[in-house]
């Protein structure tokens, strides 16, 4: 299934899609795959596999801690691709979220080829903008990979139009000014940003703003096509470092809560 098809299926059911994120290699490679499969089974419609990076300037402390643990465990790009392959085999669209430097180091054309071969659906590039992405856009188009760029409340209407025109799959609306992380309240910037983006594109628009429970997911699902959750999933596993079974059980409960939320929205 494609990413776009996952969003269309959710819309046909009268709900938003749930997009779940975990870094590859956290708590280790096998553990991340197990956790992501739990998230798929419990209701995630699209999976983001994070590429751990040594300088994650846009990530909050929760995801930074998980990425650091993965890096200390020796995770490499091949492990990210292996994780994508394992999750994509479930039939759930699986994309990689990564800073641009690791892709450049690996080789842009080679990365696109290997991601496609692993069954990956595309790439989310938080620090790469379409006007600097000529090589990636060409490689993605060659291998039929989704190009998912970010828009923010600070984006001008012209910038939103340019960015969404370059996207395929969905548009990532980051509605929190600053680093990522779970929050206790929703951002009042998200709704207006989605409204502005809808003027520019008919692609699905998914919002990431630190959602950590089903009620927040329902709120975001009332105006967005997708609800992106990352830090809350990571936090559950960080809270159970010595008991993986308990961590998976907590992850299952959280995913079910969030999946219920997007259906209420």
Cα dihedral sign, 110-102-4-94: positive
- Which pLDDT tens digit goes with each residue over 8-46? 999 999 999 999 999 999 999 999 999 999 999 999 999
Model confidence, pTM: 0.94
Asked whether the predicted pLDDT for residue 210 surpasses 50, the reply is yes
Question: Nearest CA to 48 among 117, 111, 112, 124?
Answer: 124
Cα dihedral sign, 95-53-41-235: negative
Report, at the CATH architecture level, how domain 3-145+210-264 is classified: Alpha-Beta Barrel (3.20)
Q: Which helix (H) or strand (E) holds 226?
A: strand 226-229
Mean pLDDT throughout 177-184?
45
Catalytic positions are 48, 59
Domains of the chain, by residue range, sit at 3-145+210-264
Query: What pLDDT is stored for residue 209 in this prediction?
Result: 84
Query: What pLDDT is stored for residue 178 in this prediction?
Result: 43
Strand, coil or helix: 154 = coil
Q: How far apart are CA 140 and CA 117, in angstroms?
A: 12
Q: How far apart are CA 236 and CA 252, in angstroms?
A: 10
Query: What pLDDT is stored for residue 221 in this prediction?
Result: 96
Band of the pLDDT at 58, cuts 50, 70, 90? low
- Residues 258 and 229 sit within 8 Å (Cβ to Cβ): yes
100's tokens: 């641009």
Mean pLDDT throughout 196-225?
95
Mean pLDDT throughout 110-120?
98
Query: What pLDDT is stored for residue 183 in this prediction?
Result: 45
């Amino acid at each position: 299934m494609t990413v776009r098809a996952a969003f269309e299926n959710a819309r046909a059911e009268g709900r938003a899609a749930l997009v779940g994120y975990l870094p590859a290699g956290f708590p280790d490679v096998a553990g991340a795959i197990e956790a992501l499969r739990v998230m798929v089974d419990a209701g995630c419609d699209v999976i983001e596999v994070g590429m751990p990076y040594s300088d994650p300037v846009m990530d909050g402390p929760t995801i930074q801690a998980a990425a650091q643990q993965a890096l200390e465990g020796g995770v490499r790009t091949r492990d990210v691709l292996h994780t994508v392959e394992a999750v994509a085999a479930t039939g759930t669209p699986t994309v990689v979220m990564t800073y641009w430097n690791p892709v450049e180091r690996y080789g842009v054309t080679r990365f696109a080829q290997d991601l496609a071969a692993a069954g990956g659906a595309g790439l989310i590039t938080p620090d790469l903008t379409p006007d600097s992405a000529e090589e990636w856009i060409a490689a993605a188009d060659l291998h039929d990979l989704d190009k998912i760029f970010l828009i923010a409340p600070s984006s001008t209407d012209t910038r939103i139009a340019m960015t969404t025109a370059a996207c395929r799959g969905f548009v990532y609306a980051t509605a929190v000014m600053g680093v990522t992380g779970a929050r206790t309240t929703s951002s009042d910037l998200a709704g207006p940003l989605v409204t502005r983006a809808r003027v520019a594109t008919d692609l699905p628009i998914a919002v990431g703003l630190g959602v950590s429970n089903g009620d927040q997911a329902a709120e975001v699902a009332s105006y967005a096509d997708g609800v992106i959750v990352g830090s809350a999933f990571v936090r559950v596993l960080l809270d159970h470092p010595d008991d993986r079974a308990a961590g998976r059980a907590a992850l299952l409960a959280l995913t079910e809560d969030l999946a219920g939320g997007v259906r209420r929205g």
